[in-house]
Amino acid sequence: MQRYDVIAIVLANLSDEDITALIERSQKIITDRKGVIAKIDKWGKRHLAYEIKKQKDGYYFLIDFAGNGAIVAEIERNYKIDDRILKFMTVKKEGATTPEGIEQEVAAAEAKRTQAKAESEAVTEGKIIQQAEKVSGDAKPSFKKTYNREEISTKGE
């Protein structure tokens, strides 16, 4: 088994049900052929860098899975046939290929994500407290020296 990412861009005007159906069909192809899905990310509607099939916007999604080459071939065959899919790309990647390894990898990534979120919230809270202390401390107005026309004209001489 190898680890793969499939990234696809579909028509932006599709309903959520249609997009979910496309993703579920891909899931079914993977699971029917004894593949293991690590994660599915819906990136949402984005503006394309250039027009693809006369479309300026597209809906992006990513499927991270472990499987064999037959799964990749079947997914790509289905994507080539489907007119709703503007573009897709399959990338072989490094990582765990067993179901247990993938679960551990996903759990570790989730723990790292929640830890980073908690740290960013703590930093933000700390900055707010520092700003509040700075404002409530000695608040001296800072004035800039202003010049009138006479001072400016005599300065240059």
- 100 pLDDT exceeds 60? yes
pLDDT(63) > 60: yes
Q: Report which of residues 71 and 147 the model is more confident about.
A: 71
34 and 48 assigned to the same domain: yes
Q: Does residue 140 carry a pLDDT above 70? A: no
Identify whether residues 117 and 93 lie together within a single domain: no
Q: 102 with 76, same domain?
A: no
Answer yes or no: do 105 and 129 share one domain: yes
In a domain, 140, yes or no: no
The strand ranges marked E within the chain are 2-11, 36-52, 55-67, 85-93
The verdict on 58 and 111 lying in the same domain is: no
Is the predicted pLDDT of residue 32 greater than 60, yes or no? yes
Nearest to 61 by CA among 36, 80, 87: 87
Within a domain: 63: yes
| 56 and 113 share one domain | no
* Structure confidence at residue 99 (pLDDT): 66
Alpha-carbon distance 64 to 4, whole Å?
6
In a domain, 34, yes or no: yes
Domain count, the chain: 2
Q: Are strands 2-11 and 36-52 parallel, antiparallel or unpaired?
A: unpaired
Tell me the pTM: 0.64
